[in-house]
Structure 1
Amino acid sequence: METFENLVRAEFAPKSTFLNTASSGLLPARTVTALTEAARLRFEGRPLDTLFADVEAARASFARLAGVPVTRVAAGASVAAHTGLVAASLPAGAEVLTAEDDFTSVVNPFHVRGDLKVRAVPLERLAESVRPGTALVAVSAAQSADGRIADLPALREAARAHGARTYVDFSQAATWLPMQADAYDYTVSVCYKWLLGPHGAGFLVVPEDFGGLTPILAGWVAGENPWDSCYGPVTEPAHSARRFDLPPALFTYAGLRRSLALIEELGVDAIRAHDLALADRFRAGLAELGHEPVAAPGSAIVSVPGLGHRQPALSEAGIEVSNRAGNLRASFHLYNTAADVDRLLDVLSG
């Protein structure tokens, strides 16, 4: 039986100390192979029809990771597109509650409507700020800028108490924070970060009754019988959340299917324990160096104020991190090791 470490070692071979999954995750070897094989179909002029099975396999895998029936999962390309779909469903004048400085894709589609009341409050005050008349609360489970985690249980209870819906983006938390998508009205995630997929794929989880969404972006793939829905309007939308699908980037899903399979093989619990242990090791090392990161307990993302300017030099040294608003942001995932953490701390100490 393969151990966690052996399976990871067989799939990843980074040429740098890569601590930047919050920007983009590494691709497993099996994913790169699948992408190459899919591209070869086009190179050789062979049909691509078989790749649609990869879309459905990836959808099913994501549904298992999210803890919901596959019929509730729509396949798309970005958080912004999914947010736009949710924004379009709201009546004029509806109040949308958001966290200050949340990632643009989570909030901007509500602003561009022009006829919604969008209210932003500090992340720590989100749950207490839900009030009568709040139609929707939209938030990232973990903040992109600094890894702070939203108090999702408190938010869920406050929203239910006031009849508000919830929209939660797990793009920066999937795998190291349980998605538990059934606890919220809508959940969303792109797949090129912690889910280790290529760019160009994301999933939206909707309620069983579709939560009042209208498939305004639907094309032929959103029909109950897609190949009978190629011309004219779609007369019979899919009976599942597939009615909200966007035309899939087939090569992307060919790879994503393998990435999600690897995550399922490793297990979310094991990944979470691994990632958080490394983040805590980094926090402890920072304390020894006299640095205090942004308070984000239980997060795999660690942001250190005042050190963002070190990013270019770290990159030259072969250590990949991010500079976010002057903060150095390091993010730890399954292919990272204690040696990676120690190397970053050693360079920072110099």
Structure 2
Amino acid sequence: MDCDLPGPQSGPMETRETFDSLVRAEFTPKSTYLNTASNGLLPARTVAALHEAARLRAEGRPLTPLYEDVEVCRALYARLVGVPPTRVAAGASVAAHTGVIAASLPAGAEILTAEDDFTSVLNPFHVRGDLKVRAVELERIPESVRPGTALVAVSAVQSADGRIADLPALREAAREHGARTYVDFSQAAGWLPVDADAYDFTAAACYKWLLGPNGAVFLTVPEDFGGLTPVLAGWVAAEEPWRSCYGPVAELAHSARRFDLTHALFTYAGLRRSLELVEELGVAAVHAHDLALAERFRTGLAALGHEPVPAPGSAIVSVPGLGSRQPELSEAGIEVSDRAGNLRASFHLYNTAADVDRLLDALSG
């Protein structure tokens, strides 16, 4: 990925200082915020862009810049996940994108999923009523693909506990049996290097690790659209949107834009600046930063006698039995989540070692 960090001639210290200075300029949290898996913090540049978008609307000026932001976001996200922009559709929810995929499957098709995966990845297949949805443990997905499996649908990183799916093994098993693949990168894109080109369909919500406002979710599809029908298509899905506002759309977009949903323009105005920041920092640098903090927390937990859910290499750490402490931690200015009785802490670029230590100190009390 291209980024504006110093090149090979710059030493590790200079690179680290550049990373830190960019982060300090953009984030001023008023709490110890360790809850990116729920919502990422907005960078200062994103907040400024949201204000400007609101002023544009309030003053009755042309909204052309906001529509341009949508296409810039599409291109930025495409670079992030390694596909051309023509394969990226812009929507509003993972569930809507999952619904389009579910609608494309023939009656009786088998979908293989992970037990207790995030609902948006699963439920549209269930509500069809005429599909065979089979759930297995996350670790067993590759070995559970079989002849007749039409689609494997899974989150790259589990929301509840941070476990990372073995995507290479999943991909090979799916290829061996002729199954398509659908991967939700919502808890991965932004801190974990991802390759959307390796899978038939992928989706990602942008309000978590990508630091955007709520309301933007991207879908990637194959060049031939993978047999999907744009069942939710409106005027923005047309090849010429402004000439397709009335009556049936005469010609759908020749790209993945045919799967676009009406754009939340303010969201994309802010998201553009968030994605630009992620690109400036570089996912590799964010990944190293986030994992160092997560490992510091795991080490501290062991010293306190707590054992988190095994999730090696994850920026999300989930601790069984401690979820009930979330309210008191929040009152103390430490934001984490309670997920299924587990305390879930998630570490991102604006967090520091001091944040980790403050949480550990609170848990030791």
* TM-score normalised over the length of structure 1: 0.99
* Residue among 118, 125, 144 paired with 1:110: 125
- Cα deviation for residue 47 of structure 1 reads 2.2
Which residue of structure 2 lines up, in the alignment, with residue 74 of structure 1? 89
Which residue of structure 2 lines up, in the alignment, with residue 166 of structure 1? 181
Matched, 1:323 2:338: yes
Distance in 2 (CA, whole Å) between partners of 1:174 and 1:264 is 12
Q: What secondary structure is seen at the aligned counterpart in 2 of 1:126?
A: helix
Which residue of structure 2 lines up, in the alignment, with residue 97 of structure 1? 112
- Cα deviation for residue 175 of structure 1 reads 2.1
CA contact (8 A) 1:221 1:246 kept: yes
Which residue of structure 2 lines up, in the alignment, with residue 23 of structure 1? 38
Matched, 1:136 2:151: yes
Distance in 2 (CA, whole Å) between partners of 1:181 and 1:308 is 33
Paired-residue identity, %: 83
Which residue of structure 2 lines up, in the alignment, with residue 302 of structure 1? 317
Which residue of structure 2 lines up, in the alignment, with residue 121 of structure 1? 136
For residues 262-309 of structure 1, the C-alpha deviation after alignment (integer angstroms, 9 at most, x for no partner) is: 000000000000001100000000000000000000000000000001
* Residue among 204, 208, 216 paired with 2:219: 204
Distance in 1 (CA, whole Å) between partners of 2:189 and 2:361 is 29
Distance in 2 (CA, whole Å) between partners of 1:181 and 1:276 is 22
Which residue of structure 2 lines up, in the alignment, with residue 46 of structure 1? 61
* TM-score normalised over the length of structure 2: 0.95
Which residue of structure 2 lines up, in the alignment, with residue 85 of structure 1? 100
Distance in 2 (CA, whole Å) between partners of 1:231 and 1:269 is 46
Distance in 2 (CA, whole Å) between partners of 1:326 and 1:138 is 25
Which residue of structure 2 lines up, in the alignment, with residue 269 of structure 1? 284
Which residue of structure 1 lines up, in the alignment, with residue 200 of structure 2? 185
Structure 2 portions without partners, runs of 5+: 1-5, 7-16
Structure 1 portions without partners, runs of 5+: none
- Cα deviation for residue 207 of structure 1 reads 0.4
Distance in 2 (CA, whole Å) between partners of 1:70 and 1:49 is 20
Distance in 2 (CA, whole Å) between partners of 1:172 and 1:184 is 17
- Cα deviation for residue 42 of structure 1 reads 1.6
CA RMSD of the aligned region, Å? Answer: 0.7
Count of residues in Structure 1 that have an aligned counterpart in Structure 2: 350
Distance in 1 (CA, whole Å) between partners of 2:280 and 2:323 is 35
Distance in 2 (CA, whole Å) between partners of 1:303 and 1:63 is 30
* Residue among 68, 79, 99 paired with 1:64: 79
Which residue of structure 2 lines up, in the alignment, with residue 152 of structure 1? 167
- Cα deviation for residue 41 of structure 1 reads 1.3
Q: What secondary structure is seen at the aligned counterpart in 2 of 1:323?
A: strand
